[in-house]
Amino acid sequence: MKKLHQILQIALLVYFGAFLIFFVAFDTLGGIFGMEEITSDSMVKITLIGLILFLAAWGSSYAAYSSLTSQIKKMESETHALKAKIYDFEHPRVPSNTSTKPTLPSDKDPSNIAPRQNFTDK
């Protein structure tokens, strides 16, 4: 769409540039094309063709702009999602509920043997 917009802009510029040169040098160029004078009908046709070219160029620029805007919004949302993932990796969640393990009553045994642990409670 962007390429079409550029082509239409150039076509519009060339169209109005050519007719500007033609009207400025009408005394010499009018005889070449067999025109004796400029009529209102020819001016209306030239202006309408120029208007159609202008509207086509404007429509293509609007379409290209809206396409780029949607791409930018999509990229921004992807960027925000990636930033959120990076933040989650850098700052992992710390569980707020730390479960406290019940303390076992300690027996003061004179021997240095550790008390038996029950592995099924965990």
Over the stretch 13-52, which tens digit does the pLDDT of each residue have? 999 998 888 888 877 777 777 777 778 888 899 899 999 9
Domain range spanning residue 31?
Answer: 2-90
The number of distinct structural domains making up the chain is 1
What predicted TM-score, i.e. pTM, was given to this entire model? Answer: 0.55
Grade residue 105 by pLDDT with cuts at 50, 70 and 90.
Answer: low
* 46 located within any domain: yes
* 71 located within any domain: yes
* 50 located within any domain: yes
* 113 located within any domain: no
- Measured between alpha carbons, how far is 36 from 26 in angstroms, rounded to an integer? 10
* 101 located within any domain: no
- Give the number of other Cβ atoms within 10 Å of residue 33's Cβ: 8
Q: Determine the distance from the C-alpha atom of residue 90 to the mean position of all C-alpha atoms in its chain, rounded to a whole number.
A: 28
* 97 located within any domain: no
* 105 located within any domain: no
